[in-house]
């Protein structure tokens, strides 16, 4: 498999195809990331898009973490009869 990869990179034809694919994917990423979608200009460099993508994913991870924290607090009630516990459990189909 390794020899296949190095011989493929020497052929300009196939590397041009993947360059096009890459720039297409990068532009799709640009539209997906709120930070970059707001910018009207289309001229965001690939490097910037990828950097912002990393940051965006890390932010999403942090948000999931924070939401898990908050939910964990909400479910803290060990008293099954409390109204709060009942509300949360019904939201979660418990």
Measured from the CB of residue 75, what is the shortest distance to other proteins in angstroms? 6
8 near other proteins, judged by CB under 8 A = no
Q: What are phi and psi of 41, to 5 degrees?
A: -70, 140
Exactly one of 37, 63, 79, 81 binds other proteins (CB under 8 A); that residue is 63
37 near other proteins, judged by CB under 8 A = no
31 near other proteins, judged by CB under 8 A = yes
> Which residue in the block uniquely carries the two structure tokens 């490097």?
47
85, with CB counted inside 10 A (0-12, 13-18, 19+), is: middle
CA separation, residue 3 to residues 6, 7, 8, 92 (Å): 5, 6, 9, 52
DSSP for residue 77: -
51 near other proteins, judged by CB under 8 A = yes
Exactly one of 11, 14, 37, 67 binds other proteins (CB under 8 A); that residue is 67
Exactly one of 14, 18, 37, 39 binds other proteins (CB under 8 A); that residue is 18
Exactly one of 6, 12, 41, 81 binds other proteins (CB under 8 A); that residue is 6
């Amino acid at each position: 498999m390794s020899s296949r990869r190095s011989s493929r990179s020497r052929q300009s034809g196939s590397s041009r195809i993947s360059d096009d694919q890459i720039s297409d994917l990068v532009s799709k990423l640009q539209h997906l990331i709120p930070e970059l979608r707001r910018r009207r200009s289309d001229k965001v460099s690939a490097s910037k898009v990828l950097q912002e993508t990393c940051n965006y994913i890390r932010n999403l991870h942090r948000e999931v973490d924070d939401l898990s924290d908050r939910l964990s607090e909400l479910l803290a009630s060990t008293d099954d009869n409390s109204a709060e516990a009942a509300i949360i459990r019904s939201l979660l189909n418990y």
